[in-house]
Structure 1
Amino acid sequence: MNGHVKRMSFQQYMELTTTLLSLLLVMAVDSTRTVAASRSQQCGNSLQQTLKLARLAQKESVDLIKTYQKAAQGEMSELFCKVSVNNVPDPNISGLEPSERIASIYTHLQTFMAHFKRVYEQQTDLQLPSSPLLAELTGVSGRSRGLAALINGFYQSLFPNLPMPEPAGGPTTLPPPQNVFQQKVYGCVVLKTYKEFLSNVSRELRTLKGKVCRRRIEMNTFY
């Protein structure tokens, strides 16, 4: 009789243990999915914030070109942006993997900021200190730095063990000394190319939101 009771107790113990383990497993899976969903939402929110700033920067770049052409560049201003200029960054985003394309956006922004500095220096010699062009150039440069910081932070959150690569072409190459006409052309081409680049950035960020953040939740759920 006592042996029967012991066997029954052991059987009940095993059933209880199995039930508890099953509950713990379900809780662990649910917890993993909750964390993954939370991280995916954070990823989407971060990317949405970056996209919002990119769109604002693009709008400002359109206004800046209008100011540039109208404020001080003369009757030929509309033709300046159509001239071919060397050493101006390519507006296209490069890379196959999301990490490469995000890094490309960041390095492009760094390169454009160096060109903005040169344009500002040139226009300081050509404009009055009160010129709205100088103020808008300063604003766009600041917006670019803010966008670069968001892109860098987003990259680090997605790829914490993957350092941001250096620009493929090395340090930014700026044009040699230019005459007044060349300066006007150079500035207009830089601003026009930057506007095209920001348009590509906005398109790329919308694409990445569906790829990167969704892939992240799927990977976290799987593991």
Structure 2
Amino acid sequence: MTSLCIRRRMSGHVRSSMLWTRLKNPATTLLALLLLLVAQSSKTASSKSQPCGGFLQQTLRLTRLIQKESVELIKTYKASQGEMSHLFCKMSIPNVPEPNISGLEPSERMESIHRNLQAFSPHLRRVYEQQTDLQPPDSLLLVQLGIVGTYSRNLEALMQAFYRKAFPNLQDWPAGAPTSLPPPQNIFQQKVYGCVVLKTYKEFLLNVSRELRTIKGKVCRGRRNLL
């Protein structure tokens, strides 16, 4: 019993490392390879010599990839939550970030995207932590949650690098306000919360993808046919 409690309290980083060593399913191995490729592409895009259009291209590609993975993640999530899981995403949960992007100018809308990414990050982490107590340690759901979380951190870094390149005369955006997480929840509330967070995050990523395609003609001029 003591060892079980200790295992459940392990940090997300350590828990993810243990999961990777247990992956034997070809599908999860493919996800692991995709994670490594995205991490490498993010490092490449962070180069100071990368042109503005290159940052935009990398950011849009990663956004599309996360959005695609989020669709599969929600399917896995619902399949792992038991009865009534098809209703969980339709319920309402307070304090979940909005999927909408605000602002008039491209720079303002980029700031809005970045703030939302920062706001979603602790919620995604909370969902992962809750599911570690509800799922077996080798669960595909935990693997996919860990991968989407890592993708999101990479996207946040890419977004910031793109902003600096596209708007060099503007100051870096300030850190976002602290995000309000829900109070302690029972198991049913955790299941609903996780589904609502993932569904809203998927909607946000779709909005980000559309936004990046919209602003491509307004910034990084002279870089045609990149996207």
Q: Is the 8 A contact 2:59 2:155 kept in 1?
A: yes
Q: Deviation string for 1:127-177 (max 9, x for gaps)?
A: 11011111100000000001111000011112234121343xx21110000
The answer to whether structure 1 residue 200 and structure 2 residue 216 are counterparts is no
Q: Deviation string for 1:38-80 (max 9, x for gaps)?
A: xxx932222111100000000000000000001x211211100
Distance 2:154 2:185 in 1: 30
2:122 aligned partner = 114
Q: Is the 8 A contact 2:99 2:207 kept in 1?
A: yes
1:56 aligned partner = 65
1:174 aligned partner = 181
Matches within 5 A, 1:12-23: none
Distance 2:219 2:94 in 1: 35
Distance 2:126 2:138 in 1: 19
Please report how far the alpha carbon of residue 97 of structure 1 lies from its aligned counterpart in structure 2 after TM superposition.
Answer: 1.1
Q: SS in structure 2 opposite 1:189?
A: helix
Distance 2:145 2:153 in 1: 13
- Which stretch shifts more, 155-164 or 194-203? 155-164
1:127 aligned partner = 135
Q: Which runs of structure 1 show a deviation greater than 3 angstroms over 4 or more consecutive aligned residues?
A: none
Q: SS in structure 1 opposite 2:133?
A: helix
Q: SS in structure 1 opposite 2:219?
A: helix
The answer to whether structure 1 residue 164 and structure 2 residue 152 are counterparts is no
1:11 aligned partner = none
Q: Is the 8 A contact 2:99 2:201 kept in 1?
A: yes
Please report how far the alpha carbon of residue 99 of structure 1 lies from its aligned counterpart in structure 2 after TM superposition.
Answer: 1.0
- Which stretch shifts more, 76-85 or 151-160? 151-160
1:78 aligned partner = 86
Distance 2:198 2:154 in 1: 18
What RMSD, in angstroms, separates the aligned Cα atoms of the two structures?
A: 1.5
Distance 2:64 2:198 in 1: 15
For structure 2, the residue ranges without an aligned partner over 5 or more in a row are 1-49
Distance 2:77 2:207 in 1: 22
Q: Which has the larger radius of gyration?
A: 1
Q: Is the 8 A contact 2:51 2:165 kept in 1?
A: no
Percent identical pairs in the alignment equals: 68
Q: What is the aligned counterpart of 1:68 among 60, 69, 77? A: 77
Q: What is the aligned counterpart of 2:216 among 184, 209, 213? A: 209
Please report how far the alpha carbon of residue 212 of structure 1 lies from its aligned counterpart in structure 2 after TM superposition.
Answer: 1.4
Q: SS in structure 2 opposite 1:176?
A: coil
Tell me the matched-pair count.
173
Which amino acid is the alignment partner of residue 52 of structure 2? C
1:24 aligned partner = none
The answer to whether structure 1 residue 46 and structure 2 residue 55 are counterparts is yes
The structure that is helix-richer by fraction is 1
1:221 aligned partner = none
Distance 1:131 1:86 in 2: 28
Q: SS in structure 2 opposite 1:85?
A: coil
Q: Is the 8 A contact 2:71 2:202 kept in 1?
A: yes
The answer to whether structure 1 residue 191 and structure 2 residue 191 are counterparts is no
